[in-house]
Amino acid sequence: MLDAPVLVLIDLEDQAGACAPTGPALELLTAARRLSGDVVALCLRAPDAPGAAAIAGAGASRLLVAELGDRSALAADAADAVVAAARAVGPGAILVVSDYRGKELAGRASVLLGSVAVSDAADLEEVDGELRASKLVLSGSWSTTVSVAPQAEGTPIIALRPGAVEAEAQPGAAPLEAEALAVEPAAETAAVELVSRESASAATGPALGEARTVVVGGRGVDGDFDLVRSLAEPLGAAVGATRVACDEGWIERSAQIGQTGETISPRLYISLGVSGAIHHTSGIQGAGTIVAICDDSEAPIFEMADYGVVGDVTEVVPQLVEELERLRG
């Protein structure tokens, strides 16, 4: 275990009137608990009481709140807050979620702290006082492990991929008293103006990068994303797509998975009418179980699938949905 605290940047989401930590943020707290007995949570706005209880229940022993308002979405502002918290707490490591903002702020904060950043980590452990972070590189064909010594290289910032760790609650946690953290934004940060902010209108269900289950539609669904959603909804899954499906305008570009789209690591990935081109599969190397439904038995997706169905999606998917309904009564 590290003999210094681990600082964790906690993203909050508004759901049904509540302001609570996101699933990936709770995963970070579990990862932090495995590194140190002292876990400090940093929020960029105040969570509500159940949100603070969830943060305590996931293992944080302190809660810092830097009130950034809407600017918390900007990597530069978030990085300034992380740096201010690091100076206040003196952590042995800092964990953030490896999404677009997390990766950018990790790089920026590590420069400001004179330390190192590792992004896209899929695994993280402490060995003899050093941190070892593993990540997939070269389109997922190699796994590499980097080792960082916090004493020698300053406080490392690790951006951990959603789904890398299973969040575990810690029973009997004491409630946390939020401590206000003052953040003095750097001149470069203040020079950036937030013009507007809106969520993608077409997004429904869980966010693609955070979802435990993802159902993906390819060219084989022939534009019928209602078919994809008919399976995604009962599974509580996010809907993804291949580039072809996005190029065709069947779904918004943000749903694209692969080399030039999102990298995902769900527990379960189900593809419908996807051939499995390397440009697509490089984005799913961190997936747990892979299920493919495709009418071409020679399609490369079957080489990496744990379960495969050779068949027409318009016939197989309705049967699958019916079976799910039957099993759930």
Among 23, 261, 286, 308, binds ligand FAD (CB under 6 A): 261
The binding track of 95-134 with respect to ligand FAD, each residue x by CB under 6 A or -, is: ----------------------------------------
258 marked among binding-site residues: yes
**Is residue 45 annotated as involved in ligand binding?**
no
Binding residues with ligand FAD: total (CB under 6 A):
26
> Can you name the residues that pair with 160 across neighbouring β-strands?
97, 121
Other beta carbons within 10 angstroms of residue 143's beta carbon come to: 14
Query: Shortest distance, CB of residue 119 to ligand FAD, whole angstroms?
Result: 18
Report the alpha-carbon distance of residue 281 to residue 226 in Å, rounded: 23
For 152, half-sphere exposure in the C-beta direction (CA atoms, 13 angstrom radius) is 6
Query: How far, rounded to the nearest angstrom, does the alpha carbon of residue 111 sit from its chain's CA centroid?
Result: 23
Please state at what angle helix 75-89 crosses helix 100-113, rounded to 10 degrees.
Answer: 50
Site for ligand FAD in 272-311 (CB under 6 A): 273-275, 277, 279-280, 294-296, 299
Q: Are 167 and 173 in contact (CB under 8 A)?
A: no
DSSP annotation of 72 reads G
Q: Figure out which of the listed residues 3, 248, 312, 322 binds ligand FAD, where binding follows CB under 6 A.
A: 312
Say if residue 267 carries a ligand binding annotation.
Answer: no
Q: Which of 232, 290, 313, 320 binds ligand FAD (CB under 6 A)?
A: 313
The DSSP symbol for 256 reads B
Instruction: Provide the minimum distance between the beta carbon of 273 and ligand FAD in the complex, in angstroms, as a whole number.
Output: 4
Q: Report the nearest approach of ligand FAD to the CB of residue 282 (Å).
A: 8
Ordered alpha helix ranges (H), the chain: 23-33, 49-57, 75-89, 100-113, 150-153, 187-190, 225-235, 243-247, 278-281, 301-304, 313-327
Residue 245 in tokens = 């499906």
Say whether 276 counts as a known binding-site residue: yes
* 121 contacts: CB under 8 Å, gap ≥ 6: 98, 133, 134, 135, 158, 159, 160, 161, 164
Q: What is the smallest separation between the CB atom of 225 and ligand FAD, expressed in angstroms?
A: 12
Question: Does residue 319 touch ligand FAD according to CB under 6 A?
Answer: no
β 18-21/12-15 pair status? antiparallel
Q: CB-wise, 46 or 310, nearer to ligand FAD?
A: 310
| Minimum separation from the CB atom of position 51 to ligand FAD (A) | 35
Query: Shortest Cβ distance from residue 302 to ligand FAD (Å)?
Result: 10
Q: Tell me whether residue 306 or residue 312 sits nearer to ligand FAD (CB atom).
A: 312
Check whether 243 is labelled as a binding-site residue: yes
For 219, the token pair is 């060219």
Q: Binding site annotation covers 275?
A: yes
* Identity of residue 324: L
Chain position whose Cβ is nearest to ligand FAD? 258
* Cβ-based nearer residue to ligand FAD, 183 or 294: 294
260 binds ligand FAD per the rule CB under 6 A: yes
Give the 3-state secondary structure of residue 96. strand
Q: Which of 259, 268, 304, 321 binds ligand FAD (CB under 6 A)?
A: 259
Indicate whether 150 belongs to the interface with ligand FAD (CB under 6 A).
no
Angle at 324 between CA 297 and CA 326, to 5 degrees: 130
Cβ closest to ligand FAD, residue 132 vs residue 279: 279
Instruction: Give the residue numbers of the binding site.
Output: 219, 242-243, 256-260, 273-280
Residues in touch with ligand FAD (CB under 6 A): 218-220, 242-245, 256-261, 273-275, 277, 279-280, 294-296, 299, 312-314
Q: Which residues are annotated binding-site positions for FAD?
A: 219, 242-243, 256-260, 273-280
